[in-house]
Amino acid sequence: MALTQREASLLEELLDVQGTAVAKYRWYAEQVTEDGTRKLIEQVADTGKETFAQLLEQLGKGGGGGWR
């Protein structure tokens, strides 16, 4: 089933937001000195990256290897 122009536009916007969120979490993890907190933030970033890759796959754009 093909996406409408509006749906495709909204998904592209979601990809931008998701990529930005992951980049922020990675930055936050670099700033934290406590190991447990850093690991937790990195896990959140990893989950976000997986979501990003799944969205790309659904759009037929391959994996998420070449982003942030």
pLDDT at 67 over 50: no
CB neighbour burial string for 36-58, b if at least 16 within 10 angstroms, e if fewer: eeeeebbebbeebbebbbebbee
Instruction: Please indicate, yes or no, if residue 6 is contained in any of the structural domains.
Output: no
Per-residue pLDDT, averaged over 20-25, amounts to: 94
pLDDT at 61 over 80: no
Q: How many domains does the chain have?
A: 1
Instruction: Please indicate, yes or no, if residue 1 is contained in any of the structural domains.
Output: no
Per-residue pLDDT, averaged over 6-14, amounts to: 87
| CA 40 – CA 31 distance, rounded (Å) | 13
- The pLDDT value given to residue 1: 63
Q: What is the pTM of this model?
A: 0.72
Instruction: Please indicate, yes or no, if residue 26 is contained in any of the structural domains.
Output: yes
**Domain range holding 22?**
12-58
